[in-house]
Amino acid sequence: MVEEFVTAIPKKSVDFADWYVQIVRRAELADYTPIKGCMVYRPYGYGIWELIKDALDRRLKATGHQNAYFPLFIPESFLTKEAEHVQGFAPEVAWVTHGGDEELEERLAIRPTSEAIVMPMYAKWVRSYRDLPILINLWNNVVRWEKVTRLFLRTTEFLWQEGHTVHRTAEDAMEETLRIFGIYQDLVENELAIPVLVGPKSAQEKFAGAQATYALEAMMPDGRALQCGTSHYFGQNFSQAFDIKFLDSDGEQKHAWSTSWGVSTRLIGGLVMTHGDDSGLILPPRVAPIQVVVVPIFYGSEMAEVIAKAEELAKALEDAGIRTKLDARDEYTPGWKFSEWELRGVPLRLEIGPRDLQAQQVVLVRRDNRKKEKVGWDNLLARVPEILKDLQAALLTRAREFLRASIYRTKEYGEFVSIMESRRGFLLSPWCGEASCEDKIKAETTATIRCIAEQEDAVGAACIACGHPAQAWAYFAKSY
Amino acid sequence: MVEEFVTAIPKKSVDFADWYVQIVRRAELADYTPIKGCMVYRPYGYGIWELIKDALDRRLKATGHQNAYFPLFIPESFLTKEAEHVQGFAPEVAWVTHGGDEELEERLAIRPTSEAIVMPMYAKWVRSYRDLPILINLWNNVVRWEKVTRLFLRTTEFLWQEGHTVHRTAEDAMEETLRIFGIYQDLVENELAIPVLVGPKSAQEKFAGAQATYALEAMMPDGRALQCGTSHYFGQNFSQAFDIKFLDSDGEQKHAWSTSWGVSTRLIGGLVMTHGDDSGLILPPRVAPIQVVVVPIFYGSEMAEVIAKAEELAKALEDAGIRTKLDARDEYTPGWKFSEWELRGVPLRLEIGPRDLQAQQVVLVRRDNRKKEKVGWDNLLARVPEILKDLQAALLTRAREFLRASIYRTKEYGEFVSIMESRRGFLLSPWCGEASCEDKIKAETTATIRCIAEQEDAVGAACIACGHPAQAWAYFAKSY
């Protein structure tokens, strides 16, 4: 049974796409539903989201942001007010046309993002420079009618947060854009252990309606990039479209400056792909709903005593703030349980059997490298947090090494194409700044600019696509 | 200016409906939007919801419930599977008919409640009695196309939680229905300080598709009842409609037993109405986003010193786990600030001026009874939690007295009608159990049965409407 349970999952290195779907479903993170492109977030997957949410919410509140909630619906006439914005989102909008038996006079978009309903309200609330900044974040659901979907990574409906801020000056708005960008990087790297490349998008790749979009881009094991979050600087685009004006201290009416930014449950897909192995998920302890699983090992007469001690230790760990699960089910063998909790990516397993009772110890087994360690009961509450911290750091280190090894620097288009076809990864190459060159590369390789490498000096370099003088170096990749 | 600010709000006792709307909007709990029947939850109102959510979430997790997320959409064919259910909800469903440019083959309901999408998934997941119970809760948004709406109390879209559980036996399901009912009563009375009557609904008033609905009913100052939460026992209705079967330990296939239950942001409307006064909101400390507002009082040269001390005290309170706000704005007078924070219902105001610096004290002013108290700096961290606790208890006591005084026991229909027309409140009267008598009373007085008084003995009593032998005593009221 155990054997069958495990072997039914394809190897990560052999069929990555199928491995991903199997892991997500068998670990009970998510499931398909009868509605095309919509998934259920099951408790274990939603539990990860709750931890990510808490971690980000803390950071946002500490920097002066407040949560609120805006309507699910956007009247069509509002969505069309910012020209670029509607062009970007209209093709994937779900439309409500009827309420009960009545046809609506104006159809309502289900928000694909909320700028077009948030901004009109800000226009109502902002009068004076004293009302600025407004720093509001929304935790909600959005809908984008996608043709091709994939659990967590691209679904018709998904959960996310979207921040919307308005400011008195351009500098304030840009500072906010970058502050959030920094918070996202801290979140993704230090909570999820996913290292990212960061930088601005090209004009072609930026958010519909933004003047600048900053992105975090991670590299998945199949050589494709995953966008993990974006922070947008709108300049005055939206405040002009929605007429957000304020009386400044110099007595003049001015348009405000705005930003928006978001990360979504797609991050959970990134977690699965980045850290998992052939046995299943590996969750970084900071976002693991269960950090330690306690598995008592017993045969017949020793059962009561072993379970009693397992319960005591599990309670002590829980009381010490470690998310702990006791698995005392008697219908499964210890081996079955080991496989199940490995599949579900629990960072640390605690085994306790009759001999451990004698020796007043337990056996701890790390999920990432399977290293076993005997720890005395007295030392358990000190040792477990140390191992969890080590494990968190080890996952980040391993992922960082992979990211570093996935970046190829090249000035030769032939090499560019050949790498993009074989190993994939991030190709760091000079670019002239023209959309036509992005189009050519996309047509020939399906790769796009993921972000611009701001720290690289492009003087004297030639565009990888057209040979004209480069404006910048950029990271190209195929992406999710 | 201060005068104008306050007098523009009608007195609670004079125009209750207008008072309510003014308070909700001016305290910045919520605002109207361009979408009919939809409101914005502004940060202060959403902050109350976050506290209610945390308080309930803690209780639900402590009793073994887990959170998850299910799709916003329900295919029409699923909504119609349980006959009573669709009849109850179809008239108020918002329908999605188009995704992007394409017309959908089957239109999608935006969930008015999620039974019809949750149950089909449970049917997929449940195989054996070992898979039961499933105890899942959802925090989400739902949409009901309402004709008449009122901020927080009845809106087209609202936020809530909906729990959906399936069980092995009828007893387990009924136990869950009542356990949640108890959790709700604890939440509403001990966190929100809103006392409630509790009991089952009549067949006519129960949830569409339920075998029994238990309700919490509060009394508002205008004599109308507010339903504060419901817990439904479905028997096997939904598990038969959606074919949720399991293999029991006796080797037989059986249908499961299910429940659902919910409370919504309507509770915030109940808070406003129950506790507020002519000066604005009064928030029970346990759900107040700001528990203490610190207002430094300064003139010219003393400013720096007073503000420094105010900052220090505010920080000490915050560090002690008390939600504290320092209002050091220099563009408003202390009097203006007092009015503003009273309007916003902050339970406790801390004033500190130059003379208080000398005396090493502050002045504390309670929002509910405006009692002032001088407290030495040394004693502040001990005294503030005491006052907040007192205030929380005082609000509940006052509301309990009001509830008690709002219950009229009568067996005479003439008296029933006359009270329902004048003072309103809960009328406790004998009832024969027939829907026709409920219909008659509703037609003549607009009152309905809010819940059945289970502890009252109906033997020998005559139905208030028809005079036939009563089956039970019931609480009748006009309601929101």
**B-chain residues within 8 Å CB-CB of A95?**
96-99
Helix (H) or strand (E) holding A134: strand A134-143
Residues A28, A162 within the same domain? yes
Q: Where a domain ends, among B355, B386, B417?
A: B386
Q: What is the structure's pLDDT at B7?
A: 55
**What are the DSSP E strand ranges found in B324-392?**
324-326, 348-352, 361-366, 372-376
Phi, psi of A202 (to 5 degrees): -75, 165
Residues A204, A238 within the same domain? yes
Assess if residue A286 is contained within a domain: no
Report CB contact under 8 Å: B35, A68. no
pLDDT tens column, A286-333: 999 999 999 999 877 888 999 999 999 999 999 999 999 999 998 999
Q: Which of A33, A70, A95 is facing B117, going by the closest CB pair?
A: A33
| A92 at B interface, C-beta within 8 A | yes
Residue of A28, A40, A78, A149 to mutate, interface with B, max B Cβ within 10 Å: A40
Residues A110, A185 within the same domain? yes
In chain B, positions 140-199, which contact chain A (CB-CB < 8 Å)? 140-141, 143, 145, 156-157, 159
pLDDT tens column, B203-217: 999 998 899 999 999
**Would the pLDDT of A186 be above 90?**
yes
| A425 conformational bin, left if phi > 0, alpha if psi -120 to 50, beta if neither | left
Q: What is the structure's pLDDT at A301?
A: 82
Q: What is the structure's pLDDT at B212?
A: 96
Residues A10, A120 within the same domain? yes
| % of chain B with per-residue pLDDT over 90 | 91
Assess if residue B398 is contained within a domain: no
Residue of B33, B159, B323 to mutate, interface with A, max A Cβ within 10 Å: B33
pTM: 0.96
Residues B359, B428 within the same domain? no
Residues A265, A316 within the same domain? no
Q: What is the structure's pLDDT at B454?
A: 86
| B97 at A interface, C-beta within 8 A | yes
Residue of B39, B81, B92, B96 to mutate, interface with A, max A Cβ within 10 Å: B96
CA distances from B60 to A289, B66, B162, B233, B297 (A): 16, 8, 12, 18, 44
- The mean pLDDT value of chain B amounts to 95
Residues A302, A188 within the same domain? no
Q: How near does any CA of chain A get to the CA of B94, in Å?
A: 4
Number of folded domains that form chain B: 3
Reading across the β-sheet that carries A225-235, which strands appear in turn? A66-68, A134-143, A157-167, A257-264, A225-235, A212-219, A197-200
- In eight-state DSSP terms, residue A479 is B
CATH code at position B459: 3.30.110.30
Cα(B140)–Cα(B113) distance, rounded to whole angstroms?
10
Q: Which of A40, A93, A98 is facing B68, going by the closest CB pair?
A: A40
Cα(A398)–Cα(B32) distance, rounded to whole angstroms?
51
Are residues A239 and A258 in contact, defined by beta-carbon separation less than 8 angstroms? yes
| B64 at A interface, C-beta within 8 A | no
Assess if residue B394 is contained within a domain: no
Q: How near does any CA of chain B get to the CA of A258, in Å?
A: 18
Q: Which positions ≥6 away from A277 have C-beta within 8 Å?
A: A12
pLDDT tens column, B78-131: 999 888 888 888 889 999 999 988 999 999 999 999 999 999 999 999 999 999
CA distances from B113 to A43, B60, B138 (A): 19, 19, 10
| A70 at B interface, C-beta within 8 A | yes
Assess if residue B234 is contained within a domain: yes
Report CB contact under 8 Å: A140, B141. yes
Q: C-alpha angle B140/A159/A270, rounded to 5°?
A: 145
Are residues A139 and A264 in contact, defined by beta-carbon separation less than 8 angstroms? no
**A-chain residues within 8 Å CB-CB of B78?**
34
Cα(B62)–Cα(B186) distance, rounded to whole angstroms?
14
Residues A25, A133 within the same domain? yes
pLDDT tens column, B385-408: 999 999 999 999 999 999 999 999
Split at pLDDT 50, 70, 90, the class of B2 is very low
- Give the CA-trace dihedral at B285, B290, B291, B297, to 10 degrees: -150
Whether omega for the bond prior to residue B133 falls within 30 degrees of 0, making it cis, is: yes
Q: Which positions ≥6 away from B189 have C-beta within 8 Å?
A: B195, B196, B396
Assess if residue A261 is contained within a domain: yes
| % of chain B with per-residue pLDDT over 70 | 99
Q: What mean pLDDT is predicted for residues B46-70?
A: 98
Assess if residue B395 is contained within a domain: no
**Of B341, B347, B362, nearest in space to B393 by CA:** B347
pLDDT tens column, A145-154: 988 999 999 9
Cα(B6)–Cα(A32) distance, rounded to whole angstroms?
54
Report CB contact under 8 Å: B35, A66. no
Residues B153, B239 within the same domain? yes
**A-chain residues within 8 Å CB-CB of B46?**
66-69
pLDDT tens column, B423-473: 999 999 999 999 999 999 999 999 999 999 988 889 999 999 999 999 999
CA A275 to chain CA centroid, Å, is: 13
Residues B161, B41 within the same domain? yes
Q: What is the structure's pLDDT at B3?
A: 45
Assess if residue B262 is contained within a domain: yes
ipTM of the prediction greater than 0.90, yes or no: yes
For B258, half-sphere exposure in the C-beta direction (CA atoms, 13 angstrom radius) is: 31
Q: Which of A43, A67, A130 is facing B43, going by the closest CB pair?
A: A67
**Domain membership of residue A473 as a residue range:** 407-477
Residues A209, A355 within the same domain? no
Cα(A313)–Cα(A324) distance, rounded to whole angstroms?
10
| A204 at B interface, C-beta within 8 A | no
**Would the pLDDT of B5 be above 70?**
no
Report CB contact under 8 Å: A121, B31. yes
CATH code at position A94: 3.30.930.10
Are residues A303 and A282 in contact, defined by beta-carbon separation less than 8 angstroms? no
Q: What mean pLDDT is predicted for residues B56-61?
A: 98
CATH code at position A311: 3.40.50.800
Report CB contact under 8 Å: A159, B108. no
Cα(A154)–Cα(A147) distance, rounded to whole angstroms?
10
| A47 at B interface, C-beta within 8 A | yes
Cα(A210)–Cα(A237) distance, rounded to whole angstroms?
7
The token duo for A165 is 């801020």
Q: How near does any CA of chain A get to the CA of B165, in Å?
A: 13
| % of chain A with per-residue pLDDT over 70 | 99
Report CB contact under 8 Å: B35, A140. no
More confident of the two residues B87 and B40: B40
| A108 at B interface, C-beta within 8 A | yes
Looking at this protein, which amino acid is placed at residue A296?
P
Compare all CA atoms of chain A with the CA of B88 and give the residue at the minimum distance. Answer: A100
Q: Where a domain ends, among A245, A275, A305?
A: A275
Radius of gyration of chain B from its Cα atoms, rounded to whole angstroms? 25
**Would the pLDDT of A283 be above 50?**
yes
**Would the pLDDT of A110 be above 70?**
yes
Q: What mean pLDDT is predicted for residues B135-145?
A: 97
**Of B292, B252, B68, B348, nearest in space to A159 by CA:** B68
In chain A, positions 313-372, which contact chain B (CB-CB < 8 Å)? 331
**B-chain residues within 8 Å CB-CB of A127?**
none
Q: Where a domain ends, among A332, A352, A387?
A: A387
Reading across the β-sheet that carries B102-110, which strands appear in turn? A73-75, A102-110, A94-99, B94-99, B102-110, B73-75
Whether omega for the bond prior to residue B71 falls within 30 degrees of 0, making it cis, is: no
Number of neighbouring beta carbons within 10 Å of residue B372:
10
**Would the pLDDT of A5 be above 80?**
no
Q: What is the structure's pLDDT at B87?
A: 86
Residues B332, B239 within the same domain? no
Report CB contact under 8 Å: A69, B40. yes
Residue holding tokens 């090493």?
B360
**A-chain residues within 8 Å CB-CB of B72?**
38, 110, 141, 143, 157
Q: Which positions ≥6 away from A473 have C-beta within 8 Å?
A: A428, A429, A430, A431, A452, A453, A456, A458, A461
Phi, psi of A396 (to 5 degrees): -65, -45
Cα(A137)–Cα(A133) distance, rounded to whole angstroms?
13
Q: How near does any CA of chain B get to the CA of A101, in Å?
A: 7
Assess if residue B284 is contained within a domain: no
Burial class (CB in 10 A: 0-12, 13-18, 19+), A105: exposed
